[in-house]
């Protein structure tokens, strides 16, 4: 069997953040298409980035996955809608309404209006997400692709910083740290507020325990995958599942490829390297109750392979740059290989 013909198993679950997770999923779907497979893909997305702004509930990672896979994304920015305009944002700024740093595009605004209305009518976020995906994903993928928020409960990641104006130490919403401060000020700690009291959304634990393969894409280990793992029950489901769990490093050559993982890994005491992140996730059968069986590192990190394997995690070095869907699909093939599928 040629590598490209290596099919996906019937049920694949991916724990995703925004841009990195969404791009990886494009590779999963490309591989599904090129092998003619009938695999059902379930995405469990981080909701710790969610924020209420101008009275609207915004879910950046859910929307990035939905727009990216639904062909509605602005590919250059990597987030928000293509063909976007910014009239509402300009009008809000003209009223002097804060926050001015959060970009809400006109097209995007419709998504948040629908979501907020449904939430206020009493629907849980998972049901709202399903309704939104009926527009974006169902026409393209039918039942083959499901997008689940990690939880229906409100969870908001905050980052403790020294306020650049007052010098005071305070916790700000993750979006304020990332968008307003561009992750350019030191972060002391990261707290997923509400996660400890949250329950996983319907279907999340089953998606992990009933999967044939679970993948941790190169999503941010602190504020994307880390937040999903902070929802009670998720780590247990990963420990219990009969499926192999394979992770893909988003750290290449001691830095993130994009985003702010480098700045945030230090807050949880993790070395900024593909091996550091693998050790942090830990071997599933290891004494510390880790979450992965296998780990892909980029070819530039090949020298780290023995260190990862010494931690009890199968490891392989392959090209990990998601330059196009086929290159990303080849990463998926490497994950299948490492999983022994």
Distance, CA of 280 to CA of 76 (rounded, Å): 32
Answer with the entry of Ca ion, ligand GDP, none that 301 interacts with (C-beta below 5 to 8 A by kind): none
Under rule CB under 6 A, residue 105 binds ligand GDP = no
Under rule CB under 6 A, residue 200 binds ligand GDP = no
Report how far Cα 206 is from the mean position of its chain's Cα atoms: 18
Task: Tell me the CA distances in angstroms from 331 to 93, 144, 275, 296, one per residue in order.
Answer: 43, 20, 18, 8
**Considering the complex, what minimum distance in angstroms separates the CB of residue 22 from ligand GDP?**
7
User: Contact 234/200 with Cβ under 8 angstroms?
Assistant: yes
Whose Cβ is closer to ligand GDP: residue 20's or residue 192's? 20
Whose Cβ is closer to Ca ion: residue 61's or residue 63's? 61
Distance, CA of 204 to CA of 195 (rounded, Å): 15
Under rule CB under 6 A, residue 44 binds ligand GDP = no
Answer with the entry of ligand GDP, Ca ion, none that 200 interacts with (C-beta below 5 to 8 A by kind): none
Under rule CB under 6 A, residue 77 binds ligand GDP = no
Residue 233: both structure tokens together: 């029950």
Under rule CB under 6 A, residue 218 binds ligand GDP = yes
Judged by CB under 6 A, the residue of 44, 245, 305, 322 near ligand GDP is: 322
For residue 105, how many C-alpha atoms fall within 13 Å in the half-sphere facing its CB? 15
User: Contact 335/33 with Cβ under 8 angstroms?
Assistant: no
- The Cα angle at residue 52 between residues 263 and 45, in degrees rounded to 5: 60
Under rule CB under 5 A, residue 61 binds Ca ion = yes
Q: Which is nearest to 39 in space by CA: 288, 332, 338, 281? A: 332
Which range binds Ca ion by CB under 5 A, 57-65, 154-162, 292-300, 304-312?
Answer: 57-65
**Considering the complex, what minimum distance in angstroms separates the CB of residue 216 from ligand GDP?**
10
Residues 228-267 as x/- pattern, contact with ligand GDP by CB under 6 A? ---------------------xx-x---xxxx-x------
Judged by CB under 6 A, the residue of 40, 50, 61, 156 near ligand GDP is: 61
- The Cα angle at residue 340 between residues 275 and 304, in degrees rounded to 5: 15
> What are the residues binding Ca ion (CB under 5 A)?
17-18, 49, 61
């Amino acid at each position: 069997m040629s590598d490209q013909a290596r099919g996906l198993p019937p049920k694949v679950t991916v724990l995703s953040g925004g841009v990195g997770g969404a791009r990886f999923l494009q590779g999963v779907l490309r591989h599904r298409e090129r092998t003619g497979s009938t695999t059902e893909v379930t995405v469990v997305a981080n909701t710790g980035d969610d924020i209420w702004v101008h009275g609207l509930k915004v879910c950046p990672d859910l929307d990035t996955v939905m727009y990216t896979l639904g062909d509605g994304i602005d590919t250059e920015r990597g987030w928000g809608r293509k063909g976007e305009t910014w009239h509402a944002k300009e009008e809000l700024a003209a009223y002097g309404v804060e926050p001015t740093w959060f970009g809400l595009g006109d097209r995007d605004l419709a998504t948040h209006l629908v979501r907020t209305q449904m939430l206020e009518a009493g629907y849980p976020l998972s049901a709202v997400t399903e309704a939104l995906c009926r527009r974006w994903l169902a026409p393209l993928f039918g039942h083959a692709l499901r997008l689940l928020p990690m939880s229906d409960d409100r969870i908001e990641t905050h980052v403790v910083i020294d306020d650049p104006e007052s010098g005071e130490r305070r916790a700000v919403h993750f979006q304020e740290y990332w968008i307003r401060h561009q992750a350019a000020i030191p972060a002391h700690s990261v707290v997923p507020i509400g996660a400890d009291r949250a329950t996983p959304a319907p279907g999340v634990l089953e998606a992990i325990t009933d999967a044939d393969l679970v993948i941790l894409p190169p999503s941010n280990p602190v504020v994307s995958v880390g937040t999903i793992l902070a929802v009670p029950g998720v780590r247990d489901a990963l420990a219990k599942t009969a499926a192999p769990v394979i992770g893909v490093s988003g750290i290449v050559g001691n830095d993130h490829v994009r985003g702010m993982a480098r700045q945030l890994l230090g807050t949880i005491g993790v070395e900024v390297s593909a091996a550091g992140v693998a050790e942090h996730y830990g071997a599933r059968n290891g004494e510390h109750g880790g979450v992965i069986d296998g780990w892909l590192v980029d070819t530039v990190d090949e020298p780290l392979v023995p260190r990862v394997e010494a931690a009890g995690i199968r490891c392989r070095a392959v090209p990990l740059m998601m330059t196009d869907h086929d290159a990303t699909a080849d990463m998926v093939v490497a994950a299948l290989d490492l999983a022994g599928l």
